[in-house]
Structure 1
Amino acid sequence: MVRQENQDRFLLLREGVYYYWRRVPRTVVHLEDRAPVIRLSLKTDDLAKARAQRDILEEADNILWASMLTEGGKTEAAMAAYKVARARAEALGFAYRPALDIAQLPLEDLYRRFSAVADKRTPTAVATAIMGGVDRPKVLVSEAFKIYCDEIAAVEIVGKSEEQKKAWRKVKQYAVDAFTKVVGEDLAMDDITRDHAKKMHDHFKALIAPTDKKADKKSASLGKRRLGDMSILYKRYYAHIGVEGRPNPFEGLTFNQKFKKRRLPFPIEWVRDVILKPGALAGLNEEARHIVLVSIETGARPIELRYLREDRIKLNDKVPHILVEPSFDPDEPHEVKTVSSVRRIPLVGVALEVMKRHKDGFPRYRDSGNTLSATVNSFLKENNLQPTGKETLYSFRHTFEDRLKEGRIDDELRKILMGHTIDREQYGSGGSLKLYHEELMKIVYPFDPSIV
């Protein structure tokens, strides 16, 4: 009898056959039916195969024991038990199927399963898993959403800042809340039907095209996004728990938007003659005022300016500029909107003077995007600085693009400076900072130093 350690942990070689051999942790020994020691024949003499089967069983038991120690309630424990049953079946080469589905399997598959169950070396718990004896628990939409956020999408959002994670989750939550409100209850995922999905679709259709002409219309993109988020939740949840081929009730239910709502830019002359007039922004706190001024001359998104740090503010380079790029610092991670958003923007005019005073960016608003927007937008409104009453902080970015067009800046360079996608295969570096600087100097606003 030989027992290996390290990479061969929990493997026991006995009479030429590998076993999964593991002692139940003390913390759960009183809750575990298999205590004190788990012994399971892996029915193989191939070490590589035994290791692969061990990995599946090890992870399954870790999940089960963790659920025993949490206060997640019956649903969490039932889900853990279901995952463990799947893992046990898969470790011995069987795809997990509910008992009703197993009855419909081909005779050859049924024979294999019955043979494994009849083997005296197969523990009762494993035999139960092979024959689909553990029911999939009914998980509510709200519970599935928590699983989606905490487990399924965890890797995808790891690079976001805490602020970005909250915003991401908040938007996804809107879809769940809307669905629950429309159907009248927090349904179990298994109970969602096409009729429920259509009811949600009809709800948004009434908001997008209300019969009451005086009603406030919602955009088609809103309905498209909410239904899309529910469709993604449904699809990825069932893939996560190993259920394949389940029809998605939200499939194909969407809305087409002919015209995308566009933010209004400030007129070019308005920024020059009104916004940059001495005293116009004096009532704003310094960081908010300075973010506005840098936005005017860089076209950067507010979030891109908020996340600037010292290492991305290049004041001492031959061409002073800022770098817009993601942060992989585990203590302060953040993402950029798209790959094309990663770019260098020369600092010209008032933007250069402002950044000389903020060599480490704008800490007051680094994690407070909503506060920044509310502060600036309220100030613009209260001081009659919006020509139509609809312009916002983000509008300065659109004005910047208008200025690039009016200045006859090359279309591709405009996309580079704005962080937009270039719709062709790219060659070279896209041009030098010196070139970017020369082009921006053609459209730079004159300014009174007192506004800084």
Structure 2
Amino acid sequence: MAKVVGLADFDRHLTKRNGFYSYKRRVPAAIGNLDPRYPTVRVALGTREVGEARAKRDAHERADDLLWASLTEGGDQVAAEARYKSAVARAKALGYTYRHLPAILSEESGESILSRLRAVQDVKPASPQETAILGGVPRPQVSVWRALEIYIEEIVADEISGKSPAQRELWENTKRRAVTSFVEVCGELNIDEITREHARQFYNRWREKIAPNPKSGQHATHTPSSGNREVGNMRVLYQKYFEYMGVEDITNPFRNLSFSEKKVGQKKKKKRLPFTAEWIEKHILKPGALARLNDQARAISLVLAETGCRPSEVANLVESQIFLDHPVPHIAIESRLDPEDPREIKTDASVRVIPLVGVALEALKKFPKGFPRYRDKESSMSATLNKYFRENGLFPTEKHVIYSFRHGFEDRMTVAGLDTELRMMLMGHTNSRPEYGEGGTLEWKQAQLAKIALPFDLAIV
């Protein structure tokens, strides 16, 4: 009976003869009639070193996995992509950069071509090795939309696996929006048809939205950051797709195309306005002010007032992040690693512990398991709160929003003289200073936050 080989077998598919290693692997019986190497693949690795042999084995193993996938895939497009990736991986395993034959003949030196011809003398005619060395598989024609699918489903699948469904949808929408915008300007192109001229057309369309010619009479409709996000998403898609396909000698047409965001005073102008302590106490915490909100939205508002959290952080609290029975009641803002219910946190600095004081503590006593109505629905929660606050005169000006709780919390800490690093820690802001110690005990943090706790009537909770 054949040995069952698992991924944990570090020396899988390796054999040794006269001190030299070879890659030896059985061809699956289901495709034996499609792979001329059936029943067994044998490739001399030309090394006595086990580490080098394992690295070369991994490259051949990936190439065969891709080849066999291409032979079993149902769709022509997917099969063509798999065959191409297999050829690229196999060429790399053999020490060559994969190029389609026309590119080899037009771009490589005579010495390089001779090197390839010498190499194929040692392999079987029409074998996968010969095909890889001589560039026998053309690059598949892949639309920019198909490239995006591959990017999402294969290239960055591991990177986005920790996002919740709502986070993933938002992330995907930003990528799809960039491709939609590009297609509107340049048309439905295959990704390898995109030229510098297409990239400049796309860039210039955004320039017209960001900095229109004064003579046109038009006004700016978008910010530089919007344009940089769209152009940047296309640049990343192009780069990551071709890297994934093993194409190393290609120039990114979107390179060095960006808009300046350095404008004096612009950041200060865009900063959200804070709620003052007086406004929160006299208007928002006033008995009856939040009475017509649903219980969970009202409680979220109260937690925001005394924690400075981002609205999404409070809306997505779960029971395991709420510690009411601890000597210092607190919440833990952290990623959820449960594959059935994942959620990412914005940055490493955003992972933090916040003591509960005042009205926030009382609100979470009513909802010790969090707020299921708004879990992974933070947009709905923000819309509900902003609409209610606006209709009930709870915003001091038209420029105030629910996020004003967060900015007001930071201002209140500053006025009370709380330590700068403590403020940054509680806000979840990145601190460039080297990290030493734990940043203070929970008891100390609780005592500091107690200095800014607002008076309230328990009946409002």
Same fold (TM over 0.5): yes
Query: Is the 1:20–1:39 contact (alpha carbons within 8 Å) kept by the matching residues of 2?
Result: yes
In the TM superposition, 1:417-432 aligns within 5 A as 417-432=426-441
- 1:366 Cα offset (Å): 1.2
Q: Alignment partner of 2:79: what SS?
A: helix
Identity across matched positions, percent: 45
Corresponding position of 1:133: 136
Where 1:316 maps in the other structure, the secondary structure is coil
2:87 to 85, 92, 110: 85
Q: CA 1:43–1:337 in 2, change beyond 3 Å: closer, same or farther?
A: closer
C-alpha distance in structure 2 between counterparts of 1:29 and 1:4, whole Å? 19
CA 1:436–1:425 in structure 2 vs 1: closer, same or farther (change >3 Å)? same
Give the match for residue 339 of structure 1. 348
- Alpha-carbon RMSD: 2.7
Quick one: distance in 2 between partners of 1:311 and 1:21?
48
Corresponding residue number in structure 2 for 1:240: 244
Q: Tell me, yes or no, if the aligned pair for 1:276 and 1:447 is still in contact at 8 Å.
A: yes
What is the aligned partner in structure 2 of residue 116 from structure 1? 119
Query: Does residue 378 in structure 1 map to residue 387 in structure 2?
Result: yes
Aligned equivalents of 2:15, 2:366: Cα separation in 1? 66
Describe the shift of the 1:99–1:451 C-alpha distance in structure 2 as closer, same or farther (beyond 3 A): same
- Look up the match of 1:174: 177
1:215 Cα offset (Å)? 4.8
User: Where does residue 293 of structure 2 map in the other structure?
Assistant: 284
Q: Is the 8 A contact 1:24 1:35 kept in 2?
A: no
Structure 2 gaps of 5+ residues are none
Whether 2:222 is the aligned partner of 1:218: answer: yes
Structure 1 pair 306–68 and aligned structure 2 pair: CA distance change class (3 A): farther
SS at match of 1:437: helix
Cα offsets for 1:104-162 (capped at 9, x unmatched): 43444333321222336454332122111211112211111111111221222222222
Q: How many residues are treated as equivalent by the alignment?
A: 447
Contact 1:139 / 1:190 at 8 angstroms: preserved in 2? yes
Once the two structures are TM-superposed, the CA of residue 25 in structure 1 deviates from its matched residue by 4.1
* Residue in 2 that maps onto 1:64: 67
What SS class does the counterpart of residue 367 from structure 2 fall into? coil
**More deviation in 156-165 or 293-302?**
156-165
Q: Which residue of 1 aligns with 2:28?
A: 24
Partner SS for 2:26: strand
What TM-score results when the alignment is normalised by the length of structure 1?
A: 0.90
CA contact (8 A) 1:296 1:400 kept: yes
Query: Which residue number in structure 2 is paired with residue 152 of structure 1?
Result: 155
How has the CA–CA distance of structure 1 residues 9 and 444 changed in structure 2, closer, same or farther, with 3 Å as cutoff? closer
- Give runs of aligned pairs for residues 88-107 of structure 1, distance below 5 A: 88-103=90-105, 104-107=107-110
- The answer as to 2:403 corresponding to 1:394 is yes
> Structure 2: how far apart are the matches of 1:102 and 1:75?
24
- Please give the per-residue CA displacement for 1:382-414, whole angstroms capped at 9, x wherever unaligned: 223222223222221111112122222222221
Task: Tell me the amino acid that sits aligned with residue 192 of structure 2.
Answer: D
Name structure 1 gaps, 5 residues minimum.
Answer: none
Q: Which moved more, 1:36-45 or 1:316-325?
A: 36-45
Please give the residue correspondences for 1:404-443 in structure 2 after superposition, counting only pairs within 5 Å: 404-443=413-452
CA distance in 2 between counterparts of 1:428 and 1:12 reads: 52
Amino acid at match of 1:148: Y
Tell me the SS of whatever aligns to 1:372: helix
Question: Counterpart of 2:44?
Answer: 42
Superposition map of 1:188-199 within 5 A = 188-199=190-201
Which deviates the most, 403-412 or 224-233? Answer: 403-412
Letter in 1 for 2:85: K
SS of match in other structure, 1:282: coil
Q: Which residue of 1 aligns with 2:205?
A: 203
Report the equivalent of 1:353: 362
Mapped to 2, the partners of 1:69 and 1:230 lie a distance apart of: 32
Contact residue 224 and residue 254 of structure 1 kept, 8 A: yes
Q: TM-score, normalised by structure 2?
A: 0.89
